[in-house]
């Protein structure tokens, strides 16, 4: 069974799992990170410097990511690019919230002002992600411990502004640590075309995590309820 990294604190639902974070975002007309491409491409330590006063112990985790990165990262990435992905995957010590947790929280809430200090990091992070080869089209899974079937009727369109972590193994989500087998649960079966596998650049080397970039557009195809309190929604990129 593939591991899925647990989070120290979810942004919007009581579920500690990246592939089980809240799905629904606000729907801004434009990207909440519009303008980040104008930032210079900086080394990781400089790209993260605006966050040192915002996120707990930021400089420590930045250096940790750099220390864990090999001198010749795979996929043609530079050390700073690979370390930017690795930093995204690191869990902060409880009760402090990780970089990815706060970044995605502001993305989901379309908080452009709160995202401005992240822009330099986002520039490096996205530069790294787009260098990774796109995975072939396949179905990945996300889930939440609530009933969201009413929000995704067939034909509904939505944009996921957060960077969205998914797993290729639905059985991972059935683990009691994550969705379990009781209570309201919604599984999203997502046909993706340009997900990125970040395992080779992750702090957690055993994870087969698929990451979807901010701004991924989805269309709801169908839904079913194969068991009480369990809802499966089919989305297509």
Break the chain into its structural domains and give their ranges: 18-236
Residue 81 has what pLDDT? 99
Measure the N-to-C terminal CA separation of the chain; round to a whole number of Å.
Answer: 26
Residue 178 has what pLDDT? 54
The most confident of the ranges 60-64, 151-155, 179-183, 224-228 is 60-64
Residue 16 has what pLDDT? 35
Residue 30's contacts (CB-CB under 8 Å, 6 or more residues apart) are: none
What band does 17 get if pLDDT is binned at 50, 70 and 90? Answer: very low
b/e map of 105-127 (b: 16 or more CB within 10 Å)? bbbbbbebebbebbbbbbbbbbb
Q: What is the mean pLDDT of residues 92-100?
A: 95
Work out the number of other CB atoms within 10 angstroms of the CB of residue 18. 27
8 Å CB contact between 188 and 22: no
What band does 228 get if pLDDT is binned at 50, 70 and 90? Answer: confident
Q: What is the mean pLDDT of residues 126-154?
A: 92
Helices assigned H by DSSP within 48-98: 58-68, 79-89
> Residue 197 phi/psi, 5° resolution?
-85, 120
Average pLDDT, the chain: 86
CA nearest 160: which of 14, 28, 44, 39? Answer: 28
Q: What is the mean pLDDT of residues 211-236?
A: 93
Q: What predicted TM-score, i.e. pTM, was given to this entire model?
A: 0.85
Spell out the SS3 assignment of 118-144. Answer: HHHHHHHHHHHHHHCCECCCEEEEEEE
How does pLDDT run across 71-87, given as a tens digit for each residue?
Answer: 999 999 999 999 999 99
How does pLDDT run across 155-207, given as a tens digit for each residue?
Answer: 999 999 999 988 887 665 655 445 666 788 888 999 999 999 999 999 987 77
18-236 to CATH, choices 3.40.50.410, 3.90.176.10, 3.40.1010.10, 3.40.1620.10: 3.90.176.10
8 Å CB contact between 109 and 28: no
The answer on pLDDT for 1 being more than 70 is: no
Least confident of 48-57, 94-103, 108-117, 219-228: 219-228
């Amino acid at each position: 069974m593939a591991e899925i990294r647990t989070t120290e604190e979810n942004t919007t639902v009581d579920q500690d799992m990246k592939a089980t974070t809240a799905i629904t975002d606000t729907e801004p007309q434009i990207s909440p990170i519009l303008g980040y491409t104008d930032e210079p491409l900086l080394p990781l330590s400089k790209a993260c410097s605006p966050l040192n006063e915002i996120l707990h112990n930021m400089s420590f985790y930045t250096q940790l990511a750099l220390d864990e990165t090999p001198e010749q990262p795979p996929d043609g990435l530079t050390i700073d690019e690979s370390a930017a992905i690795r930093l995204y995957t690191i869990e902060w010590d409880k009760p402090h919230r990780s970089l990815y947790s706060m970044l995605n929280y502001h993305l989901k809430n379309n908080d452009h002002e709160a995202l401005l200090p992240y822009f330099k990091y986002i520039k490096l992070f996205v530069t790294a992600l787009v260098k990774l080869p796109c995975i072939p089209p396949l179905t990945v899974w996300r889930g939440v411990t609530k009933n969201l079937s009413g929000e995704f009727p067939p034909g509904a369109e939505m944009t996921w502004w957060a960077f969205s972590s998914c797993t290729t193994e639905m059985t991972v989500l059935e683990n009691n640590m994550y969705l379990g087998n009781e209570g309201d649960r919604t599984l999203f079966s997502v046909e993706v075309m340009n997900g990125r596998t970040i395992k080779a650049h992750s702090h957690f080397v055993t994870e087969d995590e698929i990451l979807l970039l901010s701004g991924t557009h989805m269309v709801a195809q169908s839904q079913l309820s194969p068991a009480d309190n369990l809802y499966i929604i089919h989305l297509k990129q």
